[in-house]
């Protein structure tokens, strides 16, 4: 029979661990007795390497180059509207070459079992025949935060920067579909882009996903050609793409050349199997889940991001620290945001702005006081309009590492 460590001994070991981490941080961990067991201070996490991409800032974190995938460090997402050169990149195939694209003659074909008449429009015709709209819409990769899952999940090991909110300009998808004519059995749309499969096989699609008709027909669902008043960046879909705010960004097809109106759930590449799906019911970490027991991800969960200051900031004792950031909640609105400096033992309210329009992220801010010198973590927690709050730590594990909406935390040293 294994001997149990006496309570006094366990307390000594925990205090020793906290003291050791404090030495590594250069300051004692204030409220360390509240820190969940096994949690590593965010300041001791491994840093990321940096690289550069065409049209993007060199500070972007490149996860891989074929296909191109890159995220934005959280402290560079402080703008209300994410700049084009800082918007994250999530590609599955190889984009068309910029010198091969003629935006005016670019054609989008509409077809499918549930469309009355097949129809094609050039981008110039779409611009001329339909009213233009601009909405601020939040896009987030379904795997944002994947690297925090344990056991690890396969796929790009995203940190927290695969998210952004831009002002997208285009025509409403519903206006185009209503003009063409939908059949009564229309239940889903599926998109096809002009990106090439990594194998180079023209008969293979790198990705072809979609959304139910209810989402496709929302006011804010766009066929968009502009971001923040300018042409889309090539890596984000130039010359035209779909934008469905609040749902996994993989639904918002880039380099759009075809939309198929389906009488069933779309079955294109990355729509079947376990892609962009989570277990319909909670499972134990590391479990194997059958495809039939996986459900398609739709509205993204409530989440927040502290964008100022940068994690690792130092302030003088007695000074207040201003913090700010963004919060979003898929199809819903964020009702409130709170912060904690004692590892979630207590929470204080932040000021929260309403969204610019439905599906835009919201800005929050607060002034934080610290009782003494030492190491702190500032945690942010958002609560949506249905009362659902971010979990303090990792949410339910899933095989593909999707939907991590744990509280964001930054390291602060009070000197």
pLDDT at 50 over 80: no
Q: How confident is the model at residue 328 (pLDDT cuts 50, 70, 90)?
A: very high
Q: To the nearest whole percent, how much of the chain has pLDDT over 70?
A: 91
Q: Is the C-alpha dihedral spanning 23, 25, 31, 37 positive or negative?
A: negative
304 occurs within a structural domain: no
Predicted local confidence at residue 76, as pLDDT = 98
* Mean pLDDT (whole number) for 44-57: 62
* Mean pLDDT (whole number) for 86-97: 95
159 occurs within a structural domain: yes
Predicted local confidence at residue 405, as pLDDT = 97
Predicted local confidence at residue 51, as pLDDT = 43
372 occurs within a structural domain: no
Predicted local confidence at residue 238, as pLDDT = 97
Predicted local confidence at residue 242, as pLDDT = 98
Model pLDDT for residues 245-265, shown as the tens digit of each residue: 999 999 999 999 999 999 999
**Whole-structure pTM value:** 0.89
311 occurs within a structural domain: no
Share the mean pLDDT of the chain: 92
261 occurs within a structural domain: yes
CATH number of the CATH domain containing 166: 3.90.420.10
pLDDT at 39 over 90: no
Predicted local confidence at residue 6, as pLDDT = 53
Q: How confident is the model at residue 158 (pLDDT cuts 50, 70, 90)?
A: very high
Predicted local confidence at residue 31, as pLDDT = 87
155 occurs within a structural domain: yes
Predicted local confidence at residue 234, as pLDDT = 95
pLDDT at 47 over 50: no
Model pLDDT for residues 195-209, shown as the tens digit of each residue: 999 988 999 999 999
Predicted local confidence at residue 44, as pLDDT = 63
Domain range holding 276?
61-296
Predicted local confidence at residue 48, as pLDDT = 38
User: Considering only 31-45, 85-99, 369-383, which range has the smallest mean pLDDT?
Assistant: 31-45
Predicted local confidence at residue 46, as pLDDT = 42
pLDDT at 49 over 50: no
282 occurs within a structural domain: yes
Predicted local confidence at residue 27, as pLDDT = 78
Predicted local confidence at residue 66, as pLDDT = 85
Q: How many domains does the chain divide into?
A: 1
278 occurs within a structural domain: yes
Model pLDDT for residues 102-156, shown as the tens digit of each residue: 998 999 999 999 999 999 999 999 999 999 999 999 999 999 999 999 999 989 9
Task: For the beta carbon of residue 341, count every other beta carbon within 10 angstroms.
Answer: 23
* Mean pLDDT (whole number) for 350-371: 98
Q: How confident is the model at residue 17 (pLDDT cuts 50, 70, 90)?
A: low
């Amino acid at each position: 029979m294994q001997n149990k460590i006496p309570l006094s001994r366990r307390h000594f070991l925990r205090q020793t661990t906290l003291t050791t981490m404090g030495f590594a941080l250069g300051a004692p961990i204030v409220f360390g007795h509240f820190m969940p067991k096994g949690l590593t201070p965010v300041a001791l996490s491994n840093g990321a390497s940096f690289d550069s991409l065409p049209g993007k800032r060199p500070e972007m974190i490149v996860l891989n180059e074929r296909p191109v995938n890159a995220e934005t460090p959280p402290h560079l997402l402080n703008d209300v509207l994410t700049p084009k050169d800082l918007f994250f990149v999530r590609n599955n195939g190889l984009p068309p070459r910029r010198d091969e694209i003629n935006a005016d003659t670019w054609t989008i074909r509409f077809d499918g079992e549930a469309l009355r008449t097949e129809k094609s429009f050039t981008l110039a015709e779409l611009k001329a025949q339909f009213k233009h709209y601009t909405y601020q819409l939040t896009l987030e990769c379904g795997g944002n935060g994947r690297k925090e899952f344990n056991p690890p999940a396969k796929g790009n090991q995203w940190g927290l920067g695969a998210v952004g909110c831009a002002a997208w300009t285009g025509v409403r998808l519903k206006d185009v579909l209503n003009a063409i004519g939908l059949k009564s059995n229309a239940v889903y749309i599926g998109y096809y882009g002009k990106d090439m499969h990594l194998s180079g096989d023209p008969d293979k699609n790198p990705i072809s996903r979609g959304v139910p008709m209810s989402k496709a027909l929302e006011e804010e669902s766009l066929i968009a050609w502009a971001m923040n008043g300018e042409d889309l960046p090539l890596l984000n879909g130039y010359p035209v793409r779909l934008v469905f705010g609040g749902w996994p960004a993989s639904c918002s097809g880039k380099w759009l050349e075809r939309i198929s109106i389906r009488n069933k759930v779309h079955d294109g590449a990355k729509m079947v199997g376990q892609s962009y799906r989570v277990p319909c019911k909670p499972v134990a970490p590391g479990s194997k889940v059958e495809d039939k027991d996986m459900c398609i991800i739709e509205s993204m969960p409530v989440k927040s991001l502290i964008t100022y200051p940068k994690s690792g900031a130092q302030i003088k004792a007695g000074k207040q620290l201003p913090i700010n950031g963004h919060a979003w909640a898929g199809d819903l609105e964020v009702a409130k945001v709170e912060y904690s400096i004692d590892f979630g033992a207590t929470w204080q309210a932040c000021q929260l702005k309403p969204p610019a329009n439905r599906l835009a992220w919201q800005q929050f801010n607060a002034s934080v006081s610290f009782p003494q010198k030492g190491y702190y973590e500032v945690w942010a927690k958002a609560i949506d309009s249905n009362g659902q709050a971010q979990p303090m730590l990792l949410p339910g594990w899933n095989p593909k590492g999707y939907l991590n909406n744990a509280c964001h935390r930054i390291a602060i040293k009070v000197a």
